[in-house]
Amino acid sequence: MHRLKSLPKFNKQFKKFSERDQKNIRKEIRKIVQNPLIGEPKKGILKGIRVYKWKMLNQFYLLGYEFVKKEKTIYLYAIAIHEGFYKILERYKK
C-alpha cells in the first residue's frame, strides 16, 4: 500500500470544496493510490510530477502529484481547474 502525503497548497485548495465534492475527490485519489502511474507524466521543469485529469461539476479538474517509488509515497501537490494550475505546480519545483 502506498502512503499519501498532501502538501499545504493541496490542503488549502481541498478545503474550499463542498463535502460532496471532497468525497468525489477522495474517490479519484483512491484510483491514484491503486495505480500511481495513472496520471500523465510531465516534462521540463515539472519532470517527476504526474497530472491526473477527470470531470467533476461539468468541468475538468487536474490533480498534480508525485510518486516516489523508493518511499512508496504519493505526494499530492495541487488540485484545480486548468487555469493557473501549472503555475502552482511550478512554484513547488523552484
Mean pLDDT of 65-82: 95
Give me the residue spans of the domains in the chain: 3-93
Whole-structure pTM value: 0.93
pLDDT at 5: 96
d(Cα 89, Cα 87) in Å, to the nearest integer? Answer: 5
Task: Dump pLDDT digits (tens) for 22-66.
Answer: 999 999 999 999 999 999 999 999 999 999 999 998 999 999 999
Candidate CATH numbers 3.40.50.300, 3.10.180.10, 3.30.420.590, 3.30.2310.20; the one for domain 3-93: 3.30.2310.20
CA distance 80 to 15: 12
Helices first, then strands: H and E counts in the chain: 3, 5
For the record, the C-alpha cell of 91 comes out as 512554484
Answer for the pair 16, 85: CB distance below 8 angstroms, yes or no.
no
For residue 65, CA distances in Å to 48, 73, 92 come to 9, 10, 11
